[in-house]
C-alpha cells in the first residue's frame, strides 16, 4: 500500500508539473505569462509557486494579488539575499503593467541568482484587477483621489496651442465614441483600459474623457497605478455645452 501511495503521489506531482505553462523563455531567461495563465497556475496549486509583488510596500498594502508576497525591486537590487525561496521554486514577478520595469528587473536578478523557473506577469496588477481576478484590498483601497481637471476652454487651448504634447483618450464605449467625440481623441473603453494602456506614451500628458466623469475617474486611477506622471481629466459633456464641435465615426 505504501508503494502504491508513493506511486500515486509521484504521478500527481508529474501531472501538476506538466500543467505549468509550456511557454518559451525570453533571451533573459524568464517567461512572460498572461493574467489568465497565472490565474490557472494559482488555481492548480502548482508545486513551489511563489507570486511576488515587485512594487513598493505602500502599493502592496493598498492592493495585491491574493497570496502574493512583497519583495520591492529597489530593495532586491541592493540585496539579492531577499530571495530566500528554494532554487526549484516557480517565481512569478509582477508590478504595474507593461511599462513598469520592476518585475523584469526582479526576474533577471532571480535568473542570475540561479532560479530555474521564472515568470513575469507583464500585464501587471492593473490588468489583473481590471479582469476581476482575486485580490487583497487594503483599508485605503477605496480612498478617493483628487483628479487634475481640464475644462472645455483649457482643453481647446491645449488642442490648438500644444498639439503633440498630449494624448486625449475617450474611455466611453465604441458606440458612444462613434456617435460623437472630441477631435483627435482615441478610444480605449474603460472596461479594458489598463489592458489597452500600453499604447500610451508616458512622455506625454494623458487626458482621459467621458460624459460625466465616472468612467474617466476610473481610468485616471488606473493611470496612476500604472505610474503615468502627467494625467488630466476632462468631460465630453462640458465640451458639447461649450459649443465646440464633435467628430463622428470610429
Where residue 87 sits, what CATH number does that domain have?
A: 3.40.250.10
* Residue 66 and residue 89 share a domain: yes
185 domain residue, yes or no: yes
Structural domains of the chain, count: 2
* Residue 161 and residue 130 share a domain: no
- The answer on pLDDT for 24 being more than 70 is no
pLDDT at 100: 84
83 domain residue, yes or no: yes
- The answer on pLDDT for 13 being more than 50 is no
33 domain residue, yes or no: yes
Structural domain for 164, as ranges: 152-241
146 domain residue, yes or no: no
Q: Kindly indicate the confidence band of residue 145, based on its pLDDT and cuts at 50, 70 and 90.
A: confident
Q: Kindly indicate the confidence band of residue 35, based on its pLDDT and cuts at 50, 70 and 90.
A: very high
pLDDT at 23: 54
1 domain residue, yes or no: no
From 137, 169, 195, give the residue that closes a domain: 137
Sign of CA dihedral 224, 225, 226, 229: positive
CA angle 201, 32, 93 (to 5 degrees): 85
d(Cα 90, Cα 48) in Å, to the nearest integer? 5
- Average pLDDT over the chain reads 88
37 domain residue, yes or no: yes
123 domain residue, yes or no: yes
pLDDT at 186: 96
Whether the Cβ atoms of residue 236 and residue 172 lie closer than 8 Å to each other:
yes
- The answer on pLDDT for 7 being more than 50 is no
Closest CA to 138 of 55, 32, 248, 27: 55
* Residue 186 and residue 158 share a domain: yes
Is the pLDDT higher at 227 or at 187?
A: 187
* Residue 180 and residue 123 share a domain: no
Closest CA to 232 of 247, 213, 246, 211: 213
Length, in residues, of the chain: 250
d(Cα 237, Cα 242) in Å, to the nearest integer? 9
Q: Kindly indicate the confidence band of residue 98, based on its pLDDT and cuts at 50, 70 and 90.
A: confident
192 domain residue, yes or no: yes
Closest CA to 167 of 148, 185, 192, 149: 185
pLDDT at 155: 96
The residues, ordered by sequence, that sit 6+ positions from 63 with a Cβ below 8 Å of its Cβ are 125, 129, 135, 136, 137, 138, 141
What pTM value is reported for the model? Answer: 0.75
Q: Where are the beta strands (DSSP E) in the chain?
A: 31-33, 49-53, 63-65, 69-70, 90-94, 117-121, 135-137, 166-170, 186-187, 205-210, 231-235
Q: Check residue 186 and report its DSSP letter.
A: E
Amino acid at each position: 500500500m505504501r508503494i502504491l501511495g508513493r506511486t500515486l503521489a509521484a504521478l500527481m506531482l508529474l501531472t501538476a508539473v506538466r500543467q505549468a505553462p509550456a511557454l518559451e523563455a525570453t533571451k533573459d531567461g524568464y517567461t512572460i505569462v498572461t493574467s489568465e495563465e497565472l490565474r490557472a497556475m494559482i488555481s492548480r496549486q502548482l508545486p513551489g509557486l511563489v507570486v511576488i509583488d515587485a512594487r513598493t510596500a505602500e502599493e502592496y498594502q493598498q492592493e495585491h494579488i491574493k497570496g502574493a508576497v512583497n519583495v520591492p525591486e529597489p530593495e532586491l537590487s541592493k540585496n539579492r539575499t531577499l530571495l530566500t525561496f528554494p532554487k526549484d521554486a516557480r517565481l512569478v514577478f509582477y508590478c504595474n503593467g507593461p511599462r513598469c520595469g520592476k518585475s523584469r528587473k526582479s526576474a533577471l536578478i532571480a535568473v542570475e541568482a540561479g532560479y530555474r523557473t521564472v515568470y513575469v506577469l507583464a500585464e501587471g496588477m492593473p490588468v489583473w484587477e481590471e479582469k476581476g481576478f482575486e485580490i487583497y484590498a487594503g483599508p485605503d483601497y477605496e480612498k478617493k483621489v483628487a483628479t487634475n481637471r481640464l475644462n472645455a476652454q483649457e482643453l481647446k487651448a491645449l488642442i490648438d496651442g500644444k498639439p503633440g504634447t498630449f494624448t486625449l483618450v475617450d474611455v466611453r464605449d465604441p458606440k458612444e465614441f462613434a456617435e460623437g467625440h472630441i477631435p483627435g481623441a482615441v478610444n480605449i473603453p474603460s472596461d479594458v483600459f489598463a489592458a489597452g494602456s500600453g499604447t500610451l506614451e508616458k512622455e506625454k500628458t494623458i487626458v482621459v474623457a467621458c460624459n460625466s466623469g465616472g468612467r474617466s475617474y476610473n481610468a485616471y486611477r488606473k493611470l496612476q497605478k500604472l505610474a503615468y506622471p502627467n494625467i488630466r481629466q476632462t468631460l465630453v459633456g462640458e465640451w458639447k455645452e461649450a459649443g465646440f464641435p464633435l467628430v463622428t465615426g470610429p
